Amino acid sequence: MLPTEFHTSQVLLSDKVRRYARWSSHTIFSCAIGLSLSTFIPSHISTKLINVASAIALFGVSNRLDRLAQYADGYGSISESQSHIQYRNWLDASLQPPKREIAIAQPIEAPAPIQNTDIKKALSKPHILILGETNSGKSTLVKFLISHASAPSIVLDSHAAPDDWQGMNVIGMGRNYSAIGQEVDRLVALMNLRYELRGKGQKIFEPLIVVLDEFPACVANLGKSFAESIMLLVREARKIGIKLIVLSQGSEVKSLGIEGQGSIRECFAMVAIGKFATEKAKSLKDEGIKIMIAASQYPAMLDDFPCELPQINSFNLKNLPLPSDYLLIADSPQIIQKIDAHQQSSAGLISPVTTSAAIGTHQQSEPLSAALSAIIEYARKQDEFISARKVQSGIALFKSTKADEIRKYFQWLAANNHGIVRGDADNLEFSLK
């Protein structure tokens, strides 16, 4: 029994077999007729016999091919019927109305949540500029930052009351702007002294934090030379361990009193609180930061990143001993003199002979700062070489201090004959032996 359905390849094969069988049969049958007619041509008897035998054989082959074509005809009817069915199906499908494609919504990637930056990261910057309106909490924030620093501090505040800074070294109370100006001159002299020692090979100096409140008011009362001295410290004091924290009620160049020196603001880590944080967020393109700051009860920005002001209930301000070379400048009036900004930036402010003699006398009389004394005491108890990691875990004062800064303490102590160091870079260690 013949099959009722073919595969496409079978349909094509059956058609080819039927077509080729018929063509071959007609060709062979014509050859056989030709051979038969050739026997009537005068020729040798053997040639005639061969032609007759060949013609008979070809007639047989032609007959077999006719039977093959007849057999394939049965498959042809099936393939033709199937072809009609396939064509009808194609025609029906092509006349159907187009199907509506269902739009599949692509998943929307939610933006990563914006994280608050730790406000204490400002301490890792060379200098800090805190912007905020009156009673916005600038002084409170400064006290919080100082309580997490491992360096002594002095405060230049012409509007301070005796109990505002909890016993810290405050200069300029009662609008004593002249005292603030003299202190800034002393800091410039300290910077020049340290750079002279740096030129002789000393690279490690005791850190000092200087808080300057109401900077625009100081500039208004002390003039351009005061602003130039502060800008000099901002540009150059970082390498010799002096950090400035400046408080202001405006970030504009005019309110800071530094017209023509707008690029100096790039030396600061800018902390904006209150309305200044809101205005800073509005100037950014990140909508998430704008929404976050607008919804914050105490908005604050550290540079271009939002930060959360801590809940400050009390302070533990460390009234650490001031650096020995700073006290040397304060106790030696003959070393510091009133000079203008151009003289301050020139070399030779302090003569090498006077400086060396004064430092030698002072190092014998002035005690080390609390930070250095703590390292020496810890090294004495351990009675072995100590690493920066050990100091971080063993001395509470250095818990939040970076390891690189502690290694600088090691180098300073070794350079001033308070111990020895071994190793280098991240492997630097200190010992009293």
**Distances 69 to 4, 5, 14, 24, 416 between C-alpha atoms, Å:** 19, 20, 10, 10, 115
Q: In the numeric block, which tokens belong to residue 255?
A: 């309110």
Mean pLDDT on 321-327: 83
pLDDT tier for residue 42 given thresholds of 50, 70 and 90: confident
The reported pLDDT for the residue numbered 316 is 67
Which residues have C-beta within 8 Å of that of residue 258, sequence separation ≥ 6?
219, 227, 231, 264
The reported pLDDT for the residue numbered 429 is 93
Mean pLDDT on 213-224: 83
The reported pLDDT for the residue numbered 36 is 82
Mean pLDDT on 162-174: 79
pLDDT tier for residue 337 given thresholds of 50, 70 and 90: very low
pTM for the model stands at 0.54
Strands of 153-156's sheet in order across: 169-171, 153-156, 208-212, 242-248, 127-131, 268-273, 300-302, 305-306
Which residues have C-beta within 8 Å of that of residue 208, sequence separation ≥ 6?
151, 152, 153, 154, 190, 241, 242, 243, 322, 323, 326
The rounded distance, in Å, linking the Cα atoms of 178 and 172 is 8
User: Residue type for 34, please?
Assistant: G
Mean pLDDT on 243-261: 65
| Per-residue model confidence as pLDDT tens digits over 65-121 | 888 777 776 666 666 676 767 777 777 777 777 766 666 666 655 555 566 777 778
Residue 255 CA to chain centroid, in angstroms? 32
The reported pLDDT for the residue numbered 421 is 92
Q: What is the mean pLDDT of the chain?
A: 75
Percentages helix, strand, coil for the chain, rounded to the nearest 5? Answer: 55, 10, 35
The reported pLDDT for the residue numbered 386 is 92
Residue 353 pLDDT more than 90?
A: no
Over pLDDT 70: what percentage of the chain? 74
The reported pLDDT for the residue numbered 334 is 42
**Distances 241 to 29, 168, 290, 326 between C-alpha atoms, Å:** 115, 19, 36, 12
Given the DSSP bridges, would you call strands 127-131 and 242-248 parallel, antiparallel or unpaired? parallel
Residue ranges with strand state E in 249-396: 268-273, 300-302, 305-306, 386-387
Token match 């875990």: residue? 393
| Per-residue model confidence as pLDDT tens digits over 277-287 | 788 878 777 77
Q: Are 369 and 206 in contact (CB under 8 A)?
A: yes
pLDDT tier for residue 170 given thresholds of 50, 70 and 90: confident
Q: Are 243 and 208 in contact (CB under 8 A)?
A: yes
Q: In the numeric block, which tokens belong to residue 52?
A: 């007759």
| Per-residue model confidence as pLDDT tens digits over 366-410 | 456 667 888 888 998 888 999 998 988 888 777 777 788 888 888
Question: What DSSP designation does 262 have?
Answer: G
Which residues have C-beta within 8 Å of that of residue 21, sequence separation ≥ 6?
65, 66, 68, 69, 72
Polymer length in residues for the chain:
433
